[in-house]
A and B are shown apart, each in its own frame.
Chain A
Amino acid sequence: MLRFTLERFVGMVVTMALVSMMVFVIMELPPGDYADRYAFRKFSGTGVSVTEADVEAIRADFGLDKPMVLRYVDWIGGIVLRGDFGQAFAFETSVVKVIGDKVWLTLGILFATLIITYAVSIPIGIYAAVHRGSTADYGLTAFSYLGLALPNFLLALILLYFANRWFDVGIGGLFSPRYAEAPWSLGKLWDLFKHLWLPAFVLAWSAVAYQIQTVRATMSDELNKLSVTAARARGVPEMKLLVKYPARLAINPVVSTIGFDVNRIFSELPIVAAVLGLTELGELLLRAYLDLDMYVAGAILLLLTFIIVFMNFVSDLLLAWLDPRIKLGSR
């Protein structure tokens, strides 16, 4: 197990190193660089005419005149050694300050979504497989098609609309106005919980649809196995039989795709967050892109990817623990 863990860990680090290079390239893509934008922002409207030499001076100040490889080393070195993600240009402060506790909010949304996803999809998938061909099964299949077809941001809009219409309340955001700027307290935490379910439900929507199909397919295969028939012949009660044999195996593919689900959730997060007005990393990422605030964007993209890679690592370990055959297979 130790060897397996180590191998996966090294794999994780290598992937992260490669990802950071790609993220850096994306950060460098927009025309003009930080110095141009800094100069424009600082002096526009002040009547001071900025010459090319001034911009060059700013560039040298920030160390932006160095070749790309060196700049990459500076950037990644700052992150790894000092936890410094660079300057947030639109906010005129450091990226770390801007991102700050939004990381925790994002993680909160993520875990709430994952919990909803698995709590809903695993039992329903098992139910559909056991009652194959029933009306409920067909209904669920139809639902999962819709889950794949209806974009999350549309679902968010629809929910907002109906909440507005039926309950006459705005359900967007993560906090009530009373708590928005307040320091952390138990009351605020509870307030967050009350607001969390909606984004979590919207984000879980397509993941649930997808996982129901996965669980249903594996479960159907497992139900046809001889072990199930034998257990039934021995007179094992149906419920115990389901839990003991097929259901245990049916959650393996779910566990192995945790990273994939996290990826999907983060992929949809920025747009859902924009529609629902959530003040967390996804929404900030979208804003950073629109403002071309590339240090913030790069930092968030890197963080989100890191969470995905880490969840992949966790899912690998979980799977090896659930299904020891995996460990042997990797040798």
Chain B
Amino acid sequence: MTVADGIDQTSPKAQRQAERERQRLLKYYSASQWTLIWWRFRRHRSAMLAASILGFMALLGVFAEFVAPYGTTTRDGQYIDGPPQIPMFCDANGCTLTPFIHGVKTERDPVTLRAKTVPDPDTRVYVSFFAKGERVTVLGLFETDRHLFGLDDPDAMLHIWGADDLGRDVFSRTMYATRNSLTIGVLGVLISFVLALIIGGIAGYAGGMTDNVIQRVTEVVRVVPIIPLYMGLAAAMPKEWSTTQVYFAMTLILGLFGWPTLARRIRSQLLSIRNEDYVVAAKLAGARSSRIIGQHMLPSFTSFIIVDLVISFPYMILAETALSFVGLGLRPPTVSWGVLLQQAQSVRVIEQTPWLCIPAGFVVIAVLAFTVIGDGLRDAADPYSGAR
């Protein structure tokens, strides 16, 4: 055993292995805090999955113009309340290599005599990628009339997730809604972050009387039920405001009252390190307060702040969805998940046109993803969670 060890130690293979191990440790011990967090986060499989789902959703939102075959208000009078059309390869008339859907024709209901649209199994409309459609500007930069997918026949329309009561394409609308809902979340979180930084920073750094007063105010904002509070502010928006104004007002409203939790976190962290030697040293050296907070104190708990930011996303998204759902948030023709769900408010609608609930799936997935990512980040950011 010992002999074998002795031989192995000197063998070139073992030496290479030892060297590699040394390099690995060197890399580990010299890695920055952020690299360590990233390594630990990468090991968190469900969080990585959630992050990729969310990334995909964000991509859908960013390239909504390209991904969506039609605009948010484009109407297909032929396909009002029509069910999802799933592209297929085979039907009663045989198979093809290109996916197709059946064309539609209008029939009269034998009982109610109402005109209704039914699929016509004898006609085929072929589906293709990068099909020609409406002219759109992607990313606000380049113009194109190609969309990710569409129909070869420019007169027919493809509704893979069905159409609503005005014949608007649910898939296209959901894509645009994804963009709006996610950006509202991002902007809201950013605004509340800046506020939390200022308010929590002042309270935690100054301490004493200032802290007491700020704590009282924070308490007041925290104690009022948040959605009714948002509703009150949203109800105050003048009816004649344009949709853009409403959009920005909504982000402001969500941001203005989202700060208390984060501000408390920043305050308590600042209070706990206020008397650390390096802070006192910086003070004695004559550094300005803003510099001490920004340069010396904040970096010590940035990772916690990021975790809190990620966790506060779902609340923003849910609040926006809830407000728009009851008609106090964004207003049509702006689309968001909540605005789309407004159409699915009654049991009758869910029974007859269940595809209008698809945006609800997006809400649930987005909120779940943010929560899982938040958990993963929290584990990764905690230096005591067993460094490996």
* Residues of chain A at the chain B interface (Cβ within 8 Å): 14-15, 18-19, 22-23, 26-27, 29-31, 145-146, 148-151, 153-154, 157, 160-161, 164-165, 259, 263-264, 266-271, 274-275, 282, 285-286, 289-290, 292, 297, 300-301, 304-305, 308-309, 312
Number of A-B residue pairs having CB atoms within 8 Å of each other in the complex? 123
Evaluate whether A151 and B236 lie within 8 angstroms (CB atoms) in the complex, with A161-B351, A285-B231 already known.
Answer: no
Nearest residue, chain B, Cβ from A19: B220
Query: Out of B216, B328, B344, B368, which one reaches A149, CB within 8 Å?
Result: B368
Which residues of B sit under 8 angstroms from A308, Cβ to Cβ?
223-225
Expressed in whole angstroms, the minimum distance between the Cβ of A198 and any Cβ of chain B is: 13
Expressed in whole angstroms, the minimum distance between the Cβ of B106 and any Cβ of chain A is: 30
Which residues of A sit under 8 angstroms from B368, Cβ to Cβ?
145-146, 149
Q: B194 at the A/B interface (Cβ < 8 Å)?
A: no
Q: B3 at the A/B interface (Cβ < 8 Å)?
A: no
Q: B193 at the A/B interface (Cβ < 8 Å)?
A: no
Report the bound CA distance from A15 to B368 in whole Å. 34
Inter-subunit contact A297/B367 (CB<8 Å):
no
Expressed in whole angstroms, the minimum distance between the Cβ of B57 and any Cβ of chain A is: 14
Interface residues of B in 207-222 (CB under 8 A from A): 216-217, 219-222
B313-356, CB under 8 A of A: which get 1 and which 0? 01000100110011110000000000001001101001100000
Nearest residue, chain B, Cβ from A148: B371
Nearest residue, chain B, Cβ from A20: B220
Inter-subunit contact B223/A270 (CB<8 Å):
no
Report the bound CA distance from A14 to B221 in whole Å. 13
Inter-subunit contact B225/A145 (CB<8 Å):
no
Evaluate whether A304 and B351 lie within 8 angstroms (CB atoms) in the complex, with A145-B368, A149-B368, A150-B364 already known.
Answer: no
Query: Out of B225, B226, B238, B350, which one reaches A161, CB within 8 Å?
Result: B350
Q: B360 at the A/B interface (Cβ < 8 Å)?
A: yes
Q: B90 at the A/B interface (Cβ < 8 Å)?
A: no
Which residues of A sit under 8 angstroms from B224, Cβ to Cβ?
19, 22-23, 301, 305, 308
Q: A270-B227, A297-B232 are in contact. List 20 more A-B contacts (CB 8 A).
A: A19-B224, A22-B224, A26-B233, A29-B236, A30-B235, A149-B371, A154-B364, A157-B345, A165-B351, A263-B226, A267-B225, A267-B226, A270-B228, A270-B231, A274-B326, A285-B228, A289-B234, A289-B235, A290-B235, A304-B228
Report the bound CA distance from A270 to B229 in whole Å. 11
Report the bound CA distance from A160 to B344 in whole Å. 13
Q: B372 at the A/B interface (Cβ < 8 Å)?
A: yes
Selected A-B contacts with CB under 8 Å, 19 pairs = A15-B219, A15-B223, A18-B217, A22-B224, A148-B367, A149-B314, A149-B365, A149-B368, A151-B322, A157-B350, A161-B350, A164-B347, A165-B351, A271-B227, A271-B325, A286-B231, A286-B328, A300-B228, A304-B225
Report the bound CA distance from A164 to B226 in whole Å. 32
Inter-subunit contact A263/B223 (CB<8 Å):
yes
Report the bound CA distance from A150 to B227 in whole Å. 16
Which residues of A sit under 8 angstroms from B216, Cβ to Cβ?
14-15, 18
Query: Out of A22, A269, A275, which one reaches B220, CB within 8 Å?
Result: A22
Expressed in whole angstroms, the minimum distance between the Cβ of B120 and any Cβ of chain A is: 30
Report the bound CA distance from A217 to B4 in whole Å. 49
Query: Out of A275, A286, A301, which one reaches B345, CB within 8 Å?
Result: A275
Inter-subunit contact B236/A157 (CB<8 Å):
no
Q: B263 at the A/B interface (Cβ < 8 Å)?
A: no
Report the bound CA distance from A311 to B48 in whole Å. 40
Evaluate whether A271 and B322 lie within 8 angstroms (CB atoms) in the complex, with A26-B236, A149-B368 already known.
Answer: yes
Report the bound CA distance from A211 to B327 in whole Å. 31
Inter-subunit contact A263/B367 (CB<8 Å):
no
Q: B363 at the A/B interface (Cβ < 8 Å)?
A: yes
Report the bound CA distance from A30 to B237 in whole Å. 7
Which residues of A sit under 8 angstroms from B229, Cβ to Cβ?
26, 301
Nearest residue, chain A, Cβ from B231: A289
Report the bound CA distance from A271 to B38 in whole Å. 39
Which residues of B sit under 8 angstroms from A270, Cβ to Cβ?
227-228, 231, 326
Main secondary structure of the interface of B (DSSP, over half): helix
Which residues of B sit under 8 angstroms from A160, Cβ to Cβ?
347
Which residues of B sit under 8 angstroms from A146, Cβ to Cβ?
364, 368
Which residues of B sit under 8 angstroms from A269, Cβ to Cβ?
225
Nearest residue, chain A, Cβ from B240: A31
Which residues of B sit under 8 angstroms from A19, Cβ to Cβ?
220, 223-224
Nearest residue, chain A, Cβ from B318: A151
Expressed in whole angstroms, the minimum distance between the Cβ of B78 and any Cβ of chain A is: 28
Report the bound CA distance from A305 to B345 in whole Å. 28
Report the bound CA distance from A29 to B256 in whole Å. 15
Expressed in whole angstroms, the minimum distance between the Cβ of B331 and any Cβ of chain A is: 13
Which residues of A sit under 8 angstroms from B363, Cβ to Cβ?
151, 154
Report the bound CA distance from A228 to B367 in whole Å. 38
Report the bound CA distance from A112 to B12 in whole Å. 73
Expressed in whole angstroms, the minimum distance between the Cβ of B69 and any Cβ of chain A is: 27
Expressed in whole angstroms, the minimum distance between the Cβ of B109 and any Cβ of chain A is: 23
Query: Out of A30, A290, A300, which one reaches B327, CB within 8 Å?
Result: A290
Which residues of B sit under 8 angstroms from A267, Cβ to Cβ?
225-228
Which residues of B sit under 8 angstroms from A23, Cβ to Cβ?
224
Inter-subunit contact A305/B225 (CB<8 Å):
yes
Which residues of B sit under 8 angstroms from A165, Cβ to Cβ?
351
Which residues of B sit under 8 angstroms from A22, Cβ to Cβ?
220-221, 224
Report the bound CA distance from A197 to B228 in whole Å. 23
Expressed in whole angstroms, the minimum distance between the Cβ of B297 and any Cβ of chain A is: 26
Report the bound CA distance from A270 to B228 in whole Å. 7
Inter-subunit contact A266/B322 (CB<8 Å):
no
Expressed in whole angstroms, the minimum distance between the Cβ of B357 and any Cβ of chain A is: 8
Inter-subunit contact A15/B220 (CB<8 Å):
yes
Which residues of B sit under 8 angstroms from A161, Cβ to Cβ?
347, 350-351
Expressed in whole angstroms, the minimum distance between the Cβ of A96 and any Cβ of chain B is: 19
Report the bound CA distance from A267 to B236 in whole Å. 18
Inter-subunit contact A153/B372 (CB<8 Å):
no
Inter-subunit contact A266/B360 (CB<8 Å):
no
Report the bound CA distance from A52 to B350 in whole Å. 48
Report the bound CA distance from A292 to B232 in whole Å. 9
Evaluate whether A153 and B220 lie within 8 angstroms (CB atoms) in the complex, with A29-B233, A289-B235 already known.
Answer: no
Report the bound CA distance from A18 to B224 in whole Å. 11
Query: Out of A14, A145, A268, which one reaches B371, CB within 8 Å?
Result: A145
Nearest residue, chain B, Cβ from A262: B225
Most A-side CB within 10 Å, residue of B228, B229, B326, B350? B228
Report the bound CA distance from A273 to B365 in whole Å. 24
Evaluate whether A148 and B314 lie within 8 angstroms (CB atoms) in the complex, with A19-B220, A29-B236 already known.
Answer: yes
Which residues of A sit under 8 angstroms from B220, Cβ to Cβ?
15, 18-19, 22
